[in-house]
Amino acid sequence: RILAAEAEPLGQIAAHLLTAPVQADPWVVETLRAAAAEAVRQGTPAAAAERLRRALEETGPGAVRDGVLTELGLAELQAGEASAMEHLEAALDAVEEPERRAELAIRLARAQTIAGRLHAAVHTLRRELERVPALDQDTTLRLDAELVNASRLDTELWPIARERLALLSPDLRGEGRGERLLLAQLAHASVIRGRPAPIGAEMARRSLAGGALLADEGCESPSLYVALWTLALCDEHEEAHAGLSE
pLDDT digits (tens, 9 = 90+) for 200-244: 999 999 999 999 999 999 888 999 999 999 999 999 999 999 998
Q: Give yes or no for residue 6 having a pLDDT over 90.
A: no
Q: Distance between CA 87 and CA 79 in Å, rounded?
A: 13
Q: Give the pLDDT confidence of 84-141 residue by residue, as tens digits.
A: 999 999 999 888 888 889 999 999 999 999 889 999 999 999 999 987 777 899 999 9
Q: Distance between CA 219 and CA 116 in Å, rounded?
A: 19
Per cent of the chain over pLDDT 70 is: 96
Mean pLDDT to the nearest integer, 2-25: 73
Structure confidence at residue 1 (pLDDT): 53
Structure confidence at residue 9 (pLDDT): 66
Mean pLDDT to the nearest integer, 176-182: 95
Q: Give yes or no for residue 14 having a pLDDT over 90.
A: no
Mean pLDDT to the nearest integer, 177-193: 95
pTM of the model: 0.84
Mean pLDDT to the nearest integer, 9-14: 77
Structure confidence at residue 135 (pLDDT): 86
What single string gives the DSSP state of each residue in the chain? -HHHHTT--HHHHHHHHHTSPP---HHHHHHHHHHHHHHHHTT-HHHHHHHHHHHHHT--SSHHHHHHHHHHHHHHHHHT-TTHHHHHHHHHHH---HHHHHHHHHHHHHHHHHTT-HHHHHHHHHHHHTTGGGS-HHHHHHHHHHHHHHHTTSTTTHHHHHHHHHTS-TT----SHHHHHHHHHHHHHHHHTT--HHHHHHHHHHHHGGGHHHHHHGGG-HHHHHHHHHHHHTT-HHHHHHHHH-
